[in-house]
Every structure is written in structure tokens, then in C-alpha cells.
Amino acid sequence: MPYASTNCKKIVIAGVSGSGKTTIGLELAHLLDAEFVDADDFHSPEAIAKMAAGQPLEDEDRVEWLSALGRSLAARDRSTVLACSALKKSYRDRLRELCDGLTFVLLTAETERLRERIEERARGGHFMPSSLLDSQLETLEQGDDMIVIVNVGPPEEVAARVLSGI
């Protein structure tokens, strides 16, 4: 049964690779009867190739990606859940410049669990190698502009904690 009581129209599920952004984002979108968008679908072929080669993206690599994401969120008329790393405050600020009223939720987990999840996805053909996890953890800027949720337990329970946090 969808939760209609949330005041949030646009929610960004943030975190490093393997934190569960897509899994929890899909569950949350289901609970809210909202649209789900995956930021990975907005990466350029060059950015995907760079990450697949084990090279972390630089801020310059993310400029157009963040702009496209922000414009896409702003153009959507219905409630939306976006799965997006949003690792730096400046990235979150850029999204906020383009789309008002965003709520950011940071998913966290133990490093070894993150690595296991990334390696499992890589076996299924995902482009992100586990070798980039350390650089993502170093880049991550947690701040008071995010609600932090530990991603432990079944997706339904984690999504319920996200809803409680918002």
C-alpha cells in the first residue's frame, strides 16, 4: 500500500557504489507510488568506459551528468525517487540549483559488504569495479544536508526507515 503522507516530492537516494541505492530506491518508489530514476542511465559512454577501466570520475566528468539529472528531476510532474551517488556536497548543491525541494538520503553499509555487493553486480555485467570503492569512500562528503540510513536488513525494512527519516 503506497504511503501518501510524505511531504517529499523528489527524493535522492545517495551513497557509494554497492550501498543499495537502486534496490532501496525501487522499494521506496513502490511505497510512495513514485517514479524511479537511476542516475547511471544518464552517464555518457565515455564516463562509463572510464569507470569500467577502473578510473574514478573527476568533477569535470560529472558536470553535464549532474546538469542532465537536475533538469530531468525538475521536469518531472510526479513524485520521483532518484538513485544517484551525490557524493560531494557541491554535487548535491548543483542538483538543488536545478530542482527545488530535493531530500537527500545517504545509504551506508560496512565497507566489506559494499565491496561484496559491487563484486556481485560486476559478475552480472555492471560496469563499476570494486577497485573504485576506496576512491568513492574518500570522495564522500557526509553533511547535515542528508538523512543517513544504514542499509542493513530487508529492503522493505530499510525503505520504511527511510520514510521514517524523512
Q: One digit per residue, pLDDT tens: the chain, 166 residues?
A: 344 444 558 999 999 988 999 999 999 999 999 999 999 999 999 988 988 888 888 899 999 999 999 999 999 989 999 999 999 999 999 999 999 999 999 999 999 999 888 788 767 665 665 667 788 899 999 989 999 999 999 999 999 999 999 8
Query: How many Å apart are CA 98 and CA 119, to the nearest integer?
Result: 34
Task: For the domain made up of 10-165, give the CATH fold.
Answer: Rossmann fold (3.40.50)
| Residue whose C-alpha is closest to residue 28's, from 146, 127, 107, 109 | 107
What Å distances lie between residue 73 and 23, 33, 100, 126, CA to CA? 19, 16, 9, 24
- pLDDT (0 to 100) of residue 1: 38
- pLDDT (0 to 100) of residue 20: 93
| Residue whose C-alpha is closest to residue 146's, from 104, 97, 87, 100 | 104
Listed by start position, the domains of the chain span 10-165
Burial (Cβ within 10 Å: 0-12, 13-18, ≥19) of residue 151: buried
Backbone angles phi, psi at 154, to 5 degrees: -60, 145
- pLDDT (0 to 100) of residue 128: 63
Specify the pTM: 0.88
The single residue listed with the C-alpha cell 554535487 is 91
- pLDDT (0 to 100) of residue 67: 96
- pLDDT (0 to 100) of residue 57: 86
